[in-house]
Amino acid sequence: MRTRHRLLASLSAAALATAGVVMAAGTAEAANLLTNPDFETGTLSGWNCAAGSGSIVSTPVHGGSNALAGAASGSNIARCAQTVAVQPSTAYTFSGWLRGNFVYLGVNGGTSTWTSSAGNYTRVSISFTTAASQNSAEVYVQGWYGQGTYYADDLSLDGPGGGPGGDTQAPTTPGNVRSTGATANSVSLSWDASTDNVGVTGYDVIREGGATTSVTGTSATVTGLSASTQYRFTVRAKDKAGNLSPASAPVTATTTEGGGGPGPGRFIQAAPYLYLGWGNPPAPADVIRATGVKWFTMAFILAQNGCNPAWDSQRPLLGGTDESAIKAIRAAGGDVVPSIGGWSGNKLGPNCSTAEALAGAYQKVITAYGLKAIDVDIENTDEFESAAVQDRILTALKIVKQNNPGLRTILTFPTLNTGPNSWGNRLIEQSKVLNADIDNFTIMPFNFGGGADMYGNTVKSTNGLKDKVKSVFGLTDAEAYAKVGISGMNNMSDSNENTTTAIWTQIRDWSNANHIGRLSFWAVNRDRPNWDFTRITVGFTG
Which residues participate in catalysis according to the annotation?
Answer: 379
Q: Is 166 helix (H, G, I), strand (E, B) or coil?
A: helix
Region of residue 398 (left: phi > 0; alpha: psi -120 to 50; beta: else): alpha
Neighbours of 242 (CB within 10 A): 29
From the list 363, 437, 447, the residue with the least C-alpha distance to 400 is 363
> Which amino acid makes up residue 130?
T
Chain-centroid distance, C-alpha 335: 16
SS (H, E, C) 176-207: EEEEEEECCCEEEEEEECCCCCCCEEEEEEEE
**Measured distance CA(263)–CA(362) in Å, rounded:** 20
CA distance 521 to 527: 10
Residues 287, 525: Cα–Cα separation, whole Å: 10
Q: Which residues pair with 413 in a beta bridge?
A: 443
3-class secondary structure, 75? coil
Give dist(CA 491, CA 522) in Å, integer. 9
Amino acid 326 reads I
- Closest of 524, 70, 64, 18 to residue 299, by C-alpha: 524
Q: Are 53 and 71 within 8 A, CB to CB?
A: yes
Q: How far apart are CA 316 and CA 310, in angstroms?
A: 5
Three-state SS string over 389-417 comes to HHHHHHHHHHHHHHHCCCCEEEEEEECEC
Shortest CA distance to 207 belongs to which of 188, 183, 228, 184?
188
Report the distance separating Cα 202 and Cα 18, nearest Å.
7
Distance CA 233, CA 420 (A): 40
Half-sphere exposure in the Cβ direction for 65 (13 Å, CA): 20
d(CA 533, CA 542): 17
In the three-class reduction of DSSP (H, G, I as helix; E, B as strand; rest coil), residue 326 is classed as helix
